[in-house]
Structure 1
Amino acid sequence: MGTGEDFIINTRYTGPVETDQTRGIPPPPLEEDFKGKIIPLPDPDIGTLQSLDISVAIESRESIRNYRDTPLHVEELSYLLWCTQGVKWIMEDCTFRTVPSAGARHAIDTYLLIKNVQSLQPGLYRYLALDHSLGIISEDTGLADLVFRGGMNQQCIQDAALCFIWVADSYRMTWRYGERGFRDIFLEAGHICQNLYLSSQAVNCGVCAIGAFIDDELNNLLQVDGEKKFVLYMASVGKMPDFDGEMV
């Protein structure tokens, strides 16, 4: 039996399960504290963006791997972050956001490789959803080459204005659901990325989801342990090409 089959078997429900929540253990923080310089993001002013019919957005959804060498405005990035993980309101031990998450646990953090966004230095950032701001991890321009290599030299990473890198903080989910929570984390990643695909059309951007990468290289780069916290998904983003880009 393979690893995939083992995962399905080991995360099956056969009845009520005991978890840290049922044991009375307090929940983990909604978001890990960030120690470093923080940049507030502008409000995601949806009223100033291109009007987009949801039916048209769904029908038009496709993966775009080629991009114009044109920067995104920071207001556009703010909008994409709000659409993918924006916090609408906060309760004591959970948040309600623009994407669904099992039990409102929201066990995924967004890291960003910024390469070509106006008003932001190239580098590695973390989205701080509770305050709608960016934490600067590093402004080392050499990080782009490391992400490109960790992303198995895919050209869309090299050409993108920025890359979303989604990191699971598994205990936020398993605290409530036990091992079953790992299934919920992967489902949540799909919800987030689909919102990125749809919302990107309002700012004339293309997106390509990326599931192939060298796990250890990206985990080490983002300084996560690869077990409790790990990179699970990526997406390249850039301005739509003037010609027909490679699409799937």
Structure 2
Amino acid sequence: MRAFHFGTRSLRETEFTTSEMTAKTLLEKAKASPPPSPVRPSGEYDAIALPEPSPEPLNAIGLGDALSKRRSIREFGEKPLRLLDLSTLLTAARPTRPETHPDIPATGNIFKTSPSGGARHPTEVYVYARNVEGLAQGIYHYDGFRHGLTPLDGKIDDAELIALAGDQQWTGNAGALLIYTSVIERNQWKYPVSRTYRVLLMDVGHLSQTVYLLATALGLNVTFTAALRDELVEDLLGCDPANELVLGMSVLGTRV
């Protein structure tokens, strides 16, 4: 860890450019080499539309209360997770400005409720629905632009789910898992330096904390974990580990 930290450490003479200069450079770069897509292509599948979230349950609790009540709880009730609540949780990964924003087609910048270095948002969100009302058990990719779930082919039972989660038995009672991956090229296109890897990790931290606060406001139990068998997760998602890194997941469910 020290080798990585010092290998990506900035020095006294490290040069930084202004935001204006960076923007100008990127616009020129985009003409010759367009940025990667800000969302994973859905391929041949159609997205399942999610219900539009209501702000009422989120507005019913103050930010201070949500922060003080936020806890990692590894017990979940048998009652299914409501699809509306899952939809609300996924707004954490939903763009807050339309994709017609002038910076998006040119540079790939997008804006969400959580911060992201350089507005790159490299984090992709997948949903493993284990016990969600109105949703077949299985793995889905979340499409933030369409606010929908694209079904993928991966199927696992509870024993395989627990194995995937590093033998953590409590994950086998979850209503849903939000699995986070990071698409390296989104950040590397703008920041082609090794230090960028630090930012990928920060991005997942920002997003998962937003999910924690949303879950707290909705009266759900949640825990984030990075104790995963990456290779099993990659098989489930069908992602290329050379380009899309598995970094962690939020385990969610109703209260006991």
Pairwise same-fold verdict (TM > 0.5): yes
| 1:134 aligned partner, one-letter code | L
Give a deviation string over 1:186-217, Cα, whole Å, max 9, x none: 00111111111111022210101111111222
Query: Could you tell me which residue of structure 1 aligns to residue 54 of structure 2?
Result: 45
- How far apart are the structure 1 equivalents of 2:244 and 2:154? 23
Report deviation, 1:154: 0.8
**TM-score normalized by structure 2?**
0.85
Q: Would the aligned equivalents of 1:123 and 1:143 in 2 still touch at CA under 8 Å?
A: no
| 1:176 aligned partner, one-letter code | K
What SS is found at the alignment partner of 1:237? Answer: strand
- How far apart are the structure 1 equivalents of 2:209 and 2:238? 26
Query: Could you tell me which residue of structure 2 aligns to residue 26 of structure 1?
Result: 34
Deviates more, 1:188-197 or 1:28-37: 28-37
Give a deviation string over 1:152-191, Cα, whole Å, max 9, x none: 1212210100111101101101111122221111001111
- How far apart are the structure 2 equivalents of 1:227 and 1:148? 25
**TM-score normalized by structure 1?**
0.88
Correspondence 1:70 to 2:79: yes
Q: Would the aligned equivalents of 2:127 and 2:176 in 1 still touch at CA under 8 Å?
A: yes
Query: Could you tell me which residue of structure 2 aligns to residue 246 of structure 1?
Result: none
What SS is found at the alignment partner of 1:126? Answer: strand
Query: Could you tell me which residue of structure 2 aligns to residue 112 of structure 1?
Result: 127
Query: Could you tell me which residue of structure 2 aligns to residue 193 of structure 1?
Result: 208
Deviates more, 1:42-51 or 1:191-200: 42-51
Correspondence 1:6 to 2:19: no
Structure 1: stretches of 5+ with no match in the other structure: 242-248
What SS is found at the alignment partner of 2:162? Answer: helix
**Structure 1 moving runs of 4+ over 3 Å:** 16-23
Q: Would the aligned equivalents of 2:122 and 2:183 in 1 still touch at CA under 8 Å?
A: yes
RMSD between superposed Cα atoms in Å: 2.2
What SS is found at the alignment partner of 1:207? Answer: strand
| 1:135 aligned partner, one-letter code | T
Give the number of the structure whose residues are more often strand, by fraction. 1
What SS is found at the alignment partner of 2:152? Answer: strand
Q: Would the aligned equivalents of 2:220 and 2:253 in 1 still touch at CA under 8 Å?
A: yes
Structure 2: stretches of 5+ with no match in the other structure: none
Report deviation, 1:49: 5.4
Q: Would the aligned equivalents of 1:169 and 1:230 in 2 still touch at CA under 8 Å?
A: yes
- How far apart are the structure 2 equivalents of 1:139 and 1:218? 10
Query: Could you tell me which residue of structure 1 aligns to residue 220 of structure 2?
Result: 205
What SS is found at the alignment partner of 1:72? Answer: coil
Correspondence 1:80 to 2:89: yes
Correspondence 1:177 to 2:185: no
Cα distance, 1:184–1:22 mapped onto 2, change above 3 Å = farther
| 1:69 aligned partner, one-letter code | E
- How far apart are the structure 1 equivalents of 2:8 and 2:235? 27
Deviates more, 1:26-35 or 1:145-154: 145-154
Q: Would the aligned equivalents of 2:139 and 2:236 in 1 still touch at CA under 8 Å?
A: no
Q: Would the aligned equivalents of 1:147 and 1:218 in 2 still touch at CA under 8 Å?
A: no
Aligned pairs for 1:83-162 (under 5 A) are 84-89=92-97, 90=99, 91=101, 92=104, 93-138=108-153, 140=155, 142-162=156-176
Deviates more, 1:42-51 or 1:227-236: 42-51
